[in-house]
Amino acid sequence: MKVRKAVIPAAGLGTRMLPATKTVPKEMLPLVDKPAIQYIIEEAAAAGIEDILIVTNRAKSAMDDYFDYYPELETRLNQGGKDRELTEIRRVADLANIFYVRQKETKGLGHAIWRAKRFVGDEPFAVLLGDDVMRSDKPVIGQLIEAAEKYEASAVGVQQVGLDVIGKYCSVKTEALEERIFGVSDLVEKPRPEQVFSNYAILGRYVLSPGVFDVLENLEPGYGGEIQLTDGLSKLCRMEKMVAVDFEGRRYDTGNLKGFLEATIDFALEHPETGEWLQDFLRKKGKEL
Ligand code: G1P
């Protein structure tokens, strides 16, 4: 079945980016000239997703406003002949049909996804984590959708990470199916060294069957006392088919300061208005250091 819906959990407290995120949602911090959440929504839209649910909390209303029309501003831009800006803010508001639901309590990623049950209904859906911003030729979520459709399975997006850092992610038990695609038979969240299955970790992208909701509903809290999506997937992959896709693209963890700066610099180097200038600036800076 075609994947038409996506869920973006964005109800985290942003504690790794304080003090900036005390009043500005971390998803709204700009990577060059666009907020991080816009890159995620553009990725979903480019993969053919039409309806997107953002799971938010009470401190995130700036996000709803961002994807709305803004008539006063549009009139002003129109009168001032700022056609490029006008087209751009309209394009952003029309990227997809965007819906919102609040998580109400911060009880973990699995709980946030469970809040999407009514929105999703009975069809497979995509999940894009707000912190994981991708740079790729083909949308990463589109790569997963292709595999999910081919294998009639849920699909998780993985890449290899160092064994020294896998404890920050989850570890996936994989069996090769074809180039870049694996069968999944188990997963563990934030593994201790003796629990590691492989150095393949999920990096922020999933296509899930609606069967995940029944599993999440009955799940006990796991790592950190939270309802963990990975624990739900570990149950789901025993009941239904699941594949892992070693996706092509570069992933930035924009939820921490260093990843955020890496993304900012790389995106600014590619941006037509800043690319050449930044190259020059960095060369000069390099000589000074
Ligand atoms: C979450 C997931 C984890 C995944 C990671 C990167 O962890 O729980 O399985 O590997 O995102 O996408 P968090 O970064 O919220 O600790």
pLDDT for res 14: 77
Q: For residue 168, how far is its CA from the centre of ligand 1 (angstroms)?
A: 7
Sheet holding 51-56, edge to edge: 97-102, 51-56, 5-9, 125-128, 200-208, 154-160, 242-246, 181-189, 170-178
Q: State CA 6 to chain mean position distance.
A: 10
From 170, 195, 206, 236, give the residue whose CB has the most ligand 1 atoms within 8 Å, as the site to mutate. 170
Gap from CA of 12 to ligand 1 centroid (Å): 12
Å from CA of 131 to ligand 1 middle? 9
Which protein residues touch ligand 1 with a CB less than 6 Å away? Answer: 109, 129, 132, 169-170, 189, 201-204, 229-230
Consecutive H or E run containing 8: strand 5-9
What spacing in Å lies between the alpha carbon of 183 and ligand 1's midpoint?
20
> What pLDDT score does 258 carry?
94
Q: What is the pLDDT of residue 217?
A: 93
Low-confidence stretches of the chain (pLDDT < 70) are 1
**Residue 109 CA to ligand 1 centre (angstroms):** 8
Q: What is the pLDDT of residue 21?
A: 85
Q: Given this model, what pLDDT does residue 284 score?
A: 93
Residue 74 has phi, psi (to 5 degrees) of: -65, -40
Three-state DSSP class for residue 169: coil
CA distance 198 to 160: 8
Pocket test of ligand 1: the residue of 109, 187, 212, 226 to mutate, having most ligand atoms within 8 Å of its CB, is: 109
pLDDT digits (tens, 9 = 90+) for 203-259: 999 999 999 999 999 999 999 999 999 999 999 999 999 999 999 999 999 989 999
